[in-house]
């Protein structure tokens, strides 16, 4: 027959407390690192969205500059014809 006590998990007295402490510190460090990574990812996503909006504005400004340059060329041509 199987002894009832052997079915349950238990900690052997041979495990040093320093090992348990080291595992606890390592686990908490991993959680701390993961939370820092999450914050960095959120910041990068926010910066990416802002960059996307700025690039759209730059494209619109380039189109407006091209239209302005075209209009200036037409005005220059018209002025030359009138001379």
pLDDT in tens, 31-74: 999 999 999 999 999 999 889 889 999 999 999 999 999 999 99
pLDDT at 1: 47
With H, G, I as helix, E, B as strand and everything else as coil, classify residue 2. coil
pLDDT in tens, 9-37: 777 778 888 999 999 999 999 999 999 99
Dump the DSSP string for 26-47: HHHHHHHHHHHHHHHHHHHHHH
**pTM given for the model:** 0.47
Name the pLDDT band for 3 (thresholds 50, 70, 90).
low
């Amino acid at each position: 027959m199987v002894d009832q006590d052997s079915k349950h998990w238990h900690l052997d007295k041979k495990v040093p407390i320093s090992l348990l402490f080291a595992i606890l510190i390592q686990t908490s460090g991993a959680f701390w690192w993961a939370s820092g990574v999450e914050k960095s990812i959120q910041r990068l996503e926010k910066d990416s969205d802002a960059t996307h909006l700025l690039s759209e504005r730059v494209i619109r400004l380039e189109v407006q500059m091209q239209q302005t340059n075209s209009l200036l060329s037409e005005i220059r041509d018209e002025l030359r014809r009138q001379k």
